[in-house]
Amino acid sequence: MARINSAAELEEVRKSIATKKDPSKPCVAICGGIGCLGGRENLIHAFEEEVKKQKLEGKVDVRVTGCHGFCAQGPNIIIYPEEICYVKVQPEDASEIVSQTLIGKKVVDRLVYTDPNTGKKAVHQSEIPYYKKQTRNLLGTNPRIDPRSIDDYLAIGGYSALAKGLLQMGPEQVLEEVKKANLRGRGGGGFPAGLKWETARNAKAEIKYVICNGHEGEPGAYMDRAIFQGNPHLTVGARQGFIYTRHDMPRLRENIDLALKKAEEYGFLGKNILGSGFDFQIEVHLDVGIFVSGEASALMRSIEGKAPEPRPKYTRTAVKGIWERPSNLNNVETWANVPQIISKGSEWYAGIGTERSKGTKMVSLSGNIVNTGVVEVPFGTSLKEIVYDIGGGIPNGKKLKGVHFGAAMGGTLPAELIDTPLDFDVLSKLGAAIGAGGLFVMDEDTSMVSMSRFFLDFLANESCGKCVPCREGIRQMLRIFTRMSEGKGKEGDIETLEELCEVGSLASLCALGKTTSSPIRSGLRFFRKEYEASIKSTERTA
């Protein structure tokens, strides 16, 4: 493939790809998400062998696509062009699907989704309650795209935003559009992306960097792995970028490397991008296997080849980051929103969501809930809609006890606050900051003491150990909760926990230490009696 050197050439390539694709050609689209990984290679092989066996080679495509999002029903597949959705598909089902659906044009009734509440069957993905209340602006095209095929991405308009931003708008206009859209960072505190970019752009330095943080190491958070895309690199004046991701996901690394290779071959990376004179290179860096390496300053030290330890925030990384040069960092989901803003405009984007939280938010649903998976909804959607309308509610007739937002450094809300809207500021005031977007659902049998212990155990192992309030504070809190969970709580334990939370939040260097207290504080705020009961029961036993 020759390099593309203009917007006109890009459009010609897109048209050429479209003419080669037959929309009526049958295709078995197998979900490539993490919830469908188990046995996926056997499933692919089974369909490929069955297509050969039934003499359909060249007439039927078998492809692995992006994540479909419905992890609880994996492995799932979609048969195009009819868009028939089958769930929990096993290799032994391939023969029946090929003969009945691809050849006989009949639906295999036992493999379609059945609503556990109503018993109603859904043949098409759009009919499944899990998808009905979602707004899948980022995830909607996943079932149609092979993540290893740049042609698939181009066919649906991929890199149009890059061409528009680079050749029609320019850096200042792109920056203004992002600011007007009020895009807020999706990886933590929801800081306005445009302001961060502007800080890096205005910083005086010849060399600047941009970073895509794809680390996502929190328990129960797996949204970024479902998208991993976005190309708004020119806006801060950088010519070098980094993708930082996990070392323990070799398939993801292979896909990233292939995508970068193809992007450079087509002229979307490297020298003189799209004939504009703009140069940009990307390097992939892997973490060293510790959660704190996803923190901004620790991540940048890791890229420098140093130990991934956070540094004091006297100077923002947008001013002095990698090698003391201006460095702009956002997570995958944040970057993925930018092409939409450039292509459709800031007004369109700002029309989705709430007054201060714009666009959609991806949420990974897990815990005591019928439907686990990756969800995408507009800001303003209530937690009740996410848990019950999309998530299907609590299994086994149990009652909802609460929801925990923001993974290990997030907060817990009781069932009484289930009508709370998905909004950065509203949830932050309640002590349950959205963070990366992991939503853990708890039923009536969940122990808040055990939950707190679980999060502290994770953070104790993942702390870099650089600063005392984090290193020792987390260990002390973990000892207390371990004792309480074993029925050995002592008078004064709760007061000690409150003191440790206060010291950690004030004196720790980075967000890991500062927000370790979040689950504890929200637990004490809404479930204090349960914490106290673990101590009172000890007193009675003694």
Distance, CA of 403 to CA of 220 (rounded, Å): 13
Give the residues of the chain that fall short of pLDDT 50: 219-223, 229-234, 542
Whether residues 193 and 342 fall in one domain: yes
CATH number of the domain that residue 508 is part of: 1.20.1440.230
Two structure tokens written together for 44: 């692919």
Q: How many residues in the chain?
A: 542
| Total of domains in the chain | 4
Domain C-terminal end among 301, 326, 350: 350
Closest by alpha carbon to 408, among 520, 244, 303, 259? 520
Structural domain ending residue among the three candidates 88, 110, 144? 144
Q: Which of 107, 100, 124, 111 is nearest to 50 (CA)?
A: 100
CB 405 within 8 A of CB 413: yes
Whether the link from the prior residue into 250 is cis, omega within 30° of 0, is no
Same domain for 333 and 437? no
Helix (H) / strand (E) element for 176: namely: helix 171-181
- Looking at the structure, do residues 123 and 240 belong to the same domain, yes or no? no
Q: Verify that 41 and 75 share a domain, yes or no.
A: yes
Domain annotation covers residue 214: yes
Structural domain contains residue 74: yes
Q: Can you tell me the distance from the alpha carbon of 358 to that of 83, in angstroms, rounded to the nearest whole number?
A: 31
Phi and psi, residue 289, nearest 5°: 85, 20
Shared-domain flag, residues 140 and 197: no
CA distances from 431 to 413, 451, 511, 518, 521 (A): 8, 16, 15, 7, 8
3 vs 127, 167, 168, 239, 292, CA distance in Å?
42, 16, 19, 19, 39
Residue 160: inside a domain: no
- Strands 438-443 and 360-367, sheet pairing: parallel
What does DSSP assign to residue 26?
A: -
Whole-number Cα distances in Å, 513 to 43, 361, 447: 43, 26, 24
Say if 455 falls within a structural domain. yes
Q: Say yes or no: 100 and 206 in one domain.
A: no
Same domain, 193 and 328: yes
CATH number at residue 249: 3.40.50.11540
Q: Is 143 helix (H, G, I), strand (E, B) or coil?
A: helix
Pairing state of beta strands 327-331 and 209-214? parallel
Cα 200 from Cα 213, distance rounded (Å): 16
The answer on 184 and 322 residing in a single domain is yes
Q: Structure pTM? A: 0.90
Domain of 409, in residue numbers: 360-443
- Cβ–Cβ under 8 Å, residues 86 and 69: no
- Kindly state the helix (H) or strand (E) to which residue 473 belongs, with its residue range: helix 468-485
Tell me: do 246 and 123 sit in the same domain.
no
Picking from 323, 350, 377, the residue at the C-terminal end of a domain is 350
In a domain, 355, yes or no: no
CATH number of 35's domain:
3.40.30.10
Under DSSP, is residue 366 helix (H, G, I), strand (E, B) or coil?
Answer: strand
Structure confidence by residue, pLDDT tens digits, 499-532: 999 999 999 988 888 888 899 999 999 999 999 9
| Residue 39 pLDDT | 59
Within a domain: residue 203? yes
Distance CA 358, CA 275 (A): 34
* Residue 136 shares a structural domain with residue 101: yes
Angle at 20 between CA 15 and CA 22, to 5 degrees: 115
Q: What is the pLDDT of residue 214?
A: 78
Enumerate the β-bridge partners of residue 382: 421
C-alpha distances in Å from residue 320, one per residue of 77, 107, 240, 242, 323:
47, 59, 15, 16, 8
The Cα 61–Cα 147 span in angstroms is 15
Nearest alpha carbon to residue 484 among 529, 409, 410, 537? 537
Indicate which CATH number applies to the domain containing 364. Answer: 3.10.20.600
Residue 159 included in any domain: no
283 and 412 together in one domain: no
Is residue 42 domain-shared with residue 139, that is, in the same domain? yes
CA distances from 235 to 30, 195, 209, 231, 484 (A): 36, 12, 11, 10, 51
Residue 11 lies in a domain: no
Q: Which of 481, 495, 405 is nearest to 447 (CA)?
A: 481
